[in-house]
Amino acid sequence: MLSVLFWIAPWGWLKWGLVLTLPLFVIAIWDFFQRKHTLRRNYPLVARIRWIMEDLRPFARAYVVEGDLEGRPFNHDERSLVYARAKGQLDSHPFGTELDVYSDEYEWLAHSIVPNEDAPPEWRVDVGSSQCSQPYSASLFNISAMSFGSLSANAIMALNKGAAAGNFYHDTGEGGLSRYHRSHGGDLVWEIGSGYFGCRNEDGTFNPDKFAETATDPQVKMVEIKLSQGAKPGHGGVLPGPKVTKEIAETRGVPIGRDVISPPAHSTFSTPVELLEWAAQLRDLSGGKPVGIKLCVGKPHEVFAICEAMLETGIRLDYIVVDGAEGGTGAAPVEFSNRVGMPLREGLILVRNALVGTGLKDEIKIAAAGKVHSGAGLAMNFGLGADWCNAGRAFMFALGCIQSMNCHTDRCPTGIATQDATRQRGLVVPTKAERVTRFQRHTLHALREMVVAMGLDNPWQIEPCHISERQNSARSDSIDNIYNFLRPGELLESPEGTQYAKAWAAAQFDSFGEATCRQ
């Protein structure tokens, strides 16, 4: 009773003041004498406000400061479109476009006076060259490569369950094929990176027997050799030992608690011919399933070298996934994400021209990946040469990602890019899987509506001449007048007349190096 009176006495507010201020006083004393931070030493306690504001800055910017079209890498309107389609909500926009149609960022698709209402309700693409005995019928919009370890177990399960319900594929990423990828039976594309996770020997080299054991699983529909990725092309990686949990070690086929290295380059090949020979081996070991490569385009002559090697050896890839430098679902060194790699548009056009110019396009399909999130984005990529598209971040938004930019900290607030069990708990797999399915379905519906409006029968009929963009406020032109698109066989018949003359002359089927001269 006396203690109660002590606190409620008229002068008890002094005690409450001490309770509140004494901890702050202790922190201020600590700041004054510590030797690590200059600002805290010179401005005790007050300097800590700076760190608080740094932590709050991404959220304040996204929700208070930025306009609807200003956010990066995805603005508010782009994210809202994905959220609306994932939730099955109204995705229309009132009162006309908010875009500046006279800015040099504006581009548009040409509609027709006679829309084609009889266009098929959906399309699929058959992937597999003449050398593939188990071709795969792929959806036109699929989940791009995202590894277990980068994404949480719940996120992987929700993506795969959504893919199974929507009949589209789920790329495993280079981190191996986990039990979570298998949990709901969705179609899988198994990505094989330079670490050979899930099919490696103890020294990190490729193990064909382990590969065949997994690749022949009926759930695995295609195999994808990762040469590079948009976020950090040409860059390896290290997963520190403390992060190598029992589950991740099991998935990747590595020891628990030891550092795991993904080298920048593959050890199974060093020349274009060796790459193709290895791809042919993977196709045989998988039972004849499609095998392709994924890359962010860097040096054009290397792409031409692969094409020359296909002509020289007769070995065909089944598909090529072009990843744009604007892509990236995890974290990467700033220098790489900002300054290395070719953007999707230029990379897609170059690969399209390489295959068309060498007469290989009829057998080899092209997929486009890099910031695709809408039906318009799909249509644009088809017009530049893609046969289908993949997306990573858009499907993360469908899961509930809020672009908090914490993918690399293990503090993802939505439970998507974290291994923290308490954070993962918030991601309810059945609910999020439905969102994944709805987003994919509504995006493909939007693509069909654009094909109908353009008066076409299918998205592969979209041509560069159907896409226009502004060069400045007073001038615009169609894409085919801005970029050069080669005709079939042109690189073989008259390469010197193309924009790729130097790169073609530098390409060698037996080396990724640049030829100094060519007779």
CA distance 285 to 246: 28
Residue 11 has a pLDDT of: 58
Q: b/e per residue, 388-409, with b = 16+ CB within 10 A?
A: bbbbbbbbbbbbbbbbbebbee
Q: Name the burial class of residue 202, with classes exposed (0-12), middle (13-18) and buried (19+) by CB atoms within 10 angstroms of its CB.
A: exposed
Q: What is the mean pLDDT of the chain?
A: 91
- Strand 170-171, strand 467-472: pairing: unpaired
Q: Is the pLDDT confidence value at 2 over 50?
A: no
For residue 82 the two structure tokens come to: 């994905």
Alpha helix ranges (H) inside 182-245? 208-215
Residue 63 has a pLDDT of: 75
Q: Which of 206, 176, 194 is nearest to 237 (CA)?
A: 194
**The sheet that has 467-472: what strands, in order across it?**
107-109, 467-472, 475-478
Residue type, 69: L
The answer to which of 31-35, 330-334, 336-340 has the lowest mean pLDDT is 330-334
Containing 311, the helix (H) or strand (E) segment is helix 300-313
CA distance 87 to 398: 8
* pLDDT, tens digit, 9 for 90 and up, residues 133-192: 999 999 999 999 999 988 999 999 999 999 999 999 999 999 999 999 999 999 999 999
Residue 12 has a pLDDT of: 61
CA distance 107 to 351: 22
* 404 confidence band (pLDDT: 50, 70, 90): confident
Residue 516 has a pLDDT of: 66
Alpha helix ranges (H) inside 314-374? 334-339, 344-357
* pLDDT, tens digit, 9 for 90 and up, residues 66-80: 777 787 888 889 999
Q: Is the pLDDT confidence value at 7 over 70?
A: no
* pLDDT, tens digit, 9 for 90 and up, residues 119-146: 999 999 999 999 999 999 999 999 999 9
**Share of the chain residues as helix, strand and coil, in percent rounded to the nearest 5:** 40, 15, 45
* Cβ–Cβ < 8 Å for 319, 365: yes
